Structure 1
Amino acid sequence: MPFTPDSELDLLFPAELISLEVKNQLHQDVHVRPLAATDYRRGHLDVLSVLTVVTDPGEEAWVAQFHAMRALPLTYYMIVMVDKNTDVIIGVGTVFIERKFLRGLGSVGHIEDIAVDKKQQGKKLGLRIIQVLTGLSENSGCYKTILNCSNDNIPFYQKCGYVQKENEMAKYAPKEHVQSPRL
């Protein structure tokens, strides 16, 4: 499949919000851009499967989720890295903006779902994803950007400029309480 330029895609947010400085640090065969409505076909879920088991909801439900996220402007910033030779996604990441009543009605950026295709790891794509997402968060006016990671990934995130702070807690809902996605 030939590379599809941003101008021909239905993007989650304007591509101009992504740092040119980071774009210029990428290999010439790699392009970073916002998630597009057609990225289901470019392997978005395949790359996410590096993180955990991914249930494929089907293209129609995936596209509905894309549109639901885009309907909340200035909230979801999902990016992808695309191999220009194949037009296939090789890296993904998300930052979403939480608006707060604290800190003078401040905002916090939450980084989630950082994944790089196993065949592409070791090429600093993860670092570039974090740089793009951190920039999007800071340019959105967030007073801090946070993320959760495994102990094994702490050194990587420290290299990205993050510091270990406090602890993470989680409580997972029983499976019978988890609802299926609604279209």
Structure 2
Amino acid sequence: MSFLFDPSILQDLGLDAALQAKDITTDPSPGGCQYLLRPLRSTDFDYLRLLKQLTVVGDISESDFECDTYFIVVLEDLPLRKLIGCATLLVELKMIHNRSKRGHIEDVVIDEAYRGKGLGKLLVSVLIEVGKLQGCYKISLDCDSDKVAFYERNGFKQETVSMCVRLSR
């Protein structure tokens, strides 16, 4: 079972108190916590079920992810052996700002049965800390208008207009 990134990154974030307050551990050995926060594994097919609560999901393989580019964290309900939350930090190397790194948060989702417990806020906080550890000069995200208040409560501010062009496949 290969992780998308080194699990020790999550253990080195200094978030032990915040995690323990939510009954979450980063240590996979049995310790009595309800939830395990860990990197996504290539065998986590349950991840796609969770993402389908957020958007349409296509085919994804382990080779689609580059090392040190995607930091996908998952929350697992240990007794049920079920993924209940996930979030992604994409780290982009910029040619501006002296080849610095910019983070982009995507695909934050908590299983419908577990919402309202502060777990989404926790995942966003974890990704912010991972971004700091990776040397990102800023972290941004795009969200639907009904999610703006959630992200503002988590330290994000509206700064720019986001635009896109949809490409047919």
With normalisation by structure 2, the TM-score equals 0.86
**What is the match of residue 44 of structure 2?**
39
Task: Report the AA paired with residue 67 of structure 1.
Answer: S
Task: Give the superposed CA RMSD.
Answer: 1.4
Q: Indicate the percent of aligned positions where both proteins have the same amino acid.
A: 29
1:53-132 alignment, distance < 5 Å: 53-55=56-58, 57=59, 62=60, 65-69=61-65, 72-132=66-126
Query: Does the CA contact (< 8 Å) of 1:12 and 1:77 recur in 2?
Result: yes
- After superposition, the C-alpha distances for 1:54-76 in whole angstroms (9 at most, x for unaligned) are 34x3xxxx4xx22341xx22111
Q: Which has the higher helix share?
A: 1
Q: Structure 2 unaligned segments of length 5 or more: list them.
A: 24-32
Count of residue pairs brought into register by the alignment = 156
Q: Which has the higher strand share?
A: 2
**What is the match of residue 5 of structure 1?**
none
- Where has structure 1 moved over 4 Å in runs of 4 or more? none
**Local SS of the residue matching 1:102:** coil
Cα distance in 1 between the residues matched to 2:156 and 2:130 = 15
Matched, 1:23 2:19: yes
Cα distance in 2 between the residues matched to 1:95 and 1:25 = 23
Cα distance in 2 between the residues matched to 1:134 and 1:117 = 21
Task: Report the AA paired with residue 81 of structure 2.
Answer: D
Task: Report the AA paired with residue 23 of structure 1.
Answer: L
With normalisation by structure 1, the TM-score equals 0.80
Q: Structure 1 unaligned segments of length 5 or more: list them.
A: 1-8, 179-183
Note the C-alpha offset of 1:20.
4.5
Task: Report the AA paired with residue 126 of structure 2.
Answer: V
Query: Does the CA contact (< 8 Å) of 1:34 and 1:79 recur in 2?
Result: yes
